[in-house]
A and B are shown apart, each in its own frame.
Chain A
Amino acid sequence: MGFLSQAWVIARKDIIGELRTRETVLSMLLFGFLVILIFNFGIEPGLREENLVKPGVLWAAFTFAGILGLNRSFIAEKENDCLQGLLLCPVDRSVIYLGKFFGNFIFTLSMGLVVFLFFSVLYNVNLVQVALPLGAILVLTTIGFTAVGTLFSAVSVGLKTRDVILSILLIPVMVPVVLAAAKSSGRVLDGDSLAGAGLWLALLVVYDVIFLTVAIMLFDYAVEE
């Protein structure tokens, strides 16, 4: 069994557990809905600047709801000290990181898709026009978000104040991703093609590659004791 297939075994285990409890994705979704709804109350319909605000609302909802999910990512591993059982397995630590990353990616992407649908209804977004380019931005953003988030979730899981610590650690590092996501999706929502947001998309890709690599390298230190 190869490197990636063993990582998939870990992700699959997380998905089966999540399908049974639905704790992570449901709480992320509810939180995402609430953030979008609350922003919607604060924005006057027909406001000229509405288009400027929309991407910020979407990615604020995505970020806060995503952090909620990442917080739960390693909590399941703490029950019965499962993380120790996992660390005892004769696999490279990077396999464990990738397994957890795959699981978090699937949960966060699922949340992002549903939140985007909800957003498109409330903010009157033409789905047919923007679904593909926004989908691509969502995938790239989710990769960067969960790459860093999975690492920080492992760092903070042993702490009593993990919820706060994860947000404090993650949000500053996420600034380039959220900025690039908001700017590129703003262009798309304004009717531009994806090519119009080329530089921001390039930033997302570079961020994803760098932080995924760094996180794989640092995970061993993150889970040590």
Chain B
Amino acid sequence: MKGLWKYFDHFPAIRGLDVELELGRFLTVFGPNGAGKTTLIRVLSTQIQPSQGEVEVGGCVLPGQAYRLRRHVGVISHNTYLYPNLTARENLTFFGRMYRVPDLGDRIKTLLEEVGLSGRRDDLVRTYSRGMQQRLSIARALLHDPDIMFLDEPYTGLDQHASRMLRDVLKTLHTGERTLVMTTHNIEQGLEMCDEVAIQVRGRLVFRENVGAIDRAGFEQTYFDHVGKDFRWDS
């Protein structure tokens, strides 16, 4: 993306971002609340249109080719996108049909086993705990085996078991063939598997480096140096 701006009314949530990420890489974007991380994910995943600038994801120019890109994109967000009055199986069947997933029954069975929910596949999602819903949302995002994954604060609200499961899923996804972009404000979880890190503050990327080139132990200090301990939007 080049010169990306996104306004909400007159407020610029993203201010002239320039980012290039090679296919198969895993980028983690850190930033405080209100830095524009979620907006960035929503623009890249075609949920909202950029106000200004050039955005190309997976060879598709946005917003014109958003329709073509959606087939290749999976999103895991702190919102689960799951219908509470449908069962786990009904939710996955619905999304699977929308994505025209072949051999849907088998795919659903496999994914439910992977996320540890096959025993509760016929229970309504509204009866699930937050962690179980997030695990099911991981299965939903992986249904169509996307090439590009966007993860927006995926660890939010997860218990230890679900966090470990998400880490395991991310490990299996990060094969070098799939591109992953994750936003988080948790430094430890964010650094765990990524290839590159970035820090976003007030809608701008203020830091970008290969993970091999940074001092992991001292990254928290790097983060605060860039964000500022007394971070304020009006400063």
Interface residues in chain A, defined as those with a beta carbon under 8 Å from any beta carbon in chain B: 1, 6, 9-10, 13, 16-17, 20-21, 76, 79-82, 84-92, 224-225
Contacts and interface: CB of A to CB of B under 8 A. Distances in A.
B141 to A, nearest CB: 9
Contacts, number: 75
B202 interface: no
Interface of B: 42, 45-49, 67-68, 70-71, 73, 75, 77, 79-86, 90, 94-95, 97-100, 124, 133, 140
A84 B124 contact: no
A82 B125 CA distance: 13
Contact of A80 (B45, B46, B47, B80): B80
Given A13-B86, A16-B86, A225-B48, A84 B94 contact: no
Contact of A90 (B70, B75, B83): B70
A138 B45 CA distance: 42
A18 to B, nearest CB: 8
Given A16-B90, A80-B81, A85 B100 contact: no
Contacts of B83: 13, 17, 76, 79-80, 82
Nearest to B73: A88
A202 to B, nearest CB: 37
Is the contact region of chain B dominated by helix, strand, or loop, or is it mixed? loop
Contacts of A17: 83, 85-86
A55 B48 CA distance: 45
Given A80-B83, A84-B79, 15 more contacts: A9-B94, A13-B86, A16-B85, A17-B85, A80-B133, A81-B81, A82-B83, A84-B42, A84-B81, A85-B140, A88-B70, A88-B81, A89-B99, A92-B67, A224-B48
Contact of B67 (A13, A79, A90): A90
A85 B95 contact: yes
22 contacts: A1-B100, A6-B97, A9-B97, A16-B86, A16-B90, A17-B83, A76-B83, A79-B83, A80-B79, A80-B80, A80-B84, A81-B77, A84-B47, A84-B81, A85-B140, A86-B81, A87-B47, A89-B95, A89-B98, A90-B68, A90-B70, A224-B48
